[in-house]
Structure 1
């Protein structure tokens, strides 16, 4: 099975403040282990929402394009993994070993990919 793992953004990541060198090195080591174990399908960080847009669909009206930044950073995504796993519990156990995505406190959301 494949799973989408989303690292939620923080006010710092939305301001374009990336992880420290030490945090990057720790995350790189974790990602290398995931790659060696055949778990990673895809993994990338995202730019702040100020560099993105949303396309809003409302009924039959012409879709609206809304420029970022977007107000609720707790609902935004700062990075993603697509991982191979045996079950949701398997990927949860794996991500419990992940480095904290933000030293001030981070959130990771895991969702199975419909196959």
Structure 2
């Protein structure tokens, strides 16, 4: 099962403050543990919302673009990991090991084809797209 561990933003992360050398080293060690355990699929920190934008949808083909920064810090994301583990409990255990002094991490299961039941018919097409994406990004 794939889970996304979502790091909630803070005033500090939204200020554009760069993590200290020690914080980066601790995070590097944590990421190495995830890789050695064979559970890490992806993970990154995100820059502050002042360097981003939102696209809002208002009916088919109608959009509005809002440039950052965004004000509701508690609703923002500062980073994420995508891990592949056996259960939500295992995802929680990995999240508990993140070397944060303060903050919050939300854990969400990534939707898989089987989560949609029999109504999910485009599985073969989806699998082909995923294979093509993987092929495009081979190092």
- Is the TM value for this pair above 0.5? yes
> In the alignment, which residue of structure 1 is the partner of 2:12?
12
Following TM superposition, the consecutive aligned residue runs of length 4 or more in structure 1 with deviations greater than 3 angstroms are none
Q: Which blocks of at least 5 consecutive residues in structure 1 are unaligned?
A: none
> In the alignment, which residue of structure 1 is the partner of 2:129?
none
The number of residue pairs the alignment matches comes to 112
Cα distance, 1:6 vs structure 2: 0.7
Q: TM-score, normalised by structure 1?
A: 0.92
> In the alignment, which residue of structure 2 is the partner of 1:112?
109
Aligned-pair Cα RMSD in Å? 1.1
Q: Which blocks of at least 5 consecutive residues in structure 2 are unaligned?
A: 113-139
Q: Alpha carbons of 1:41 and 1:61: their partners in 2 closer, same or farther (altered >3 Å)?
A: closer
Relative to its length, the structure with more helix (as a share) is: 2
Cα distance, 1:61 vs structure 2: 6.6
> In the alignment, which residue of structure 2 is the partner of 1:68?
68
Greater gyration radius:
2
Q: Secondary structure at the match of 1:92?
A: helix
Contact 1:6–1:108 (Cα < 8 Å) also in 2 = yes
Q: Secondary structure at the match of 2:69?
A: coil
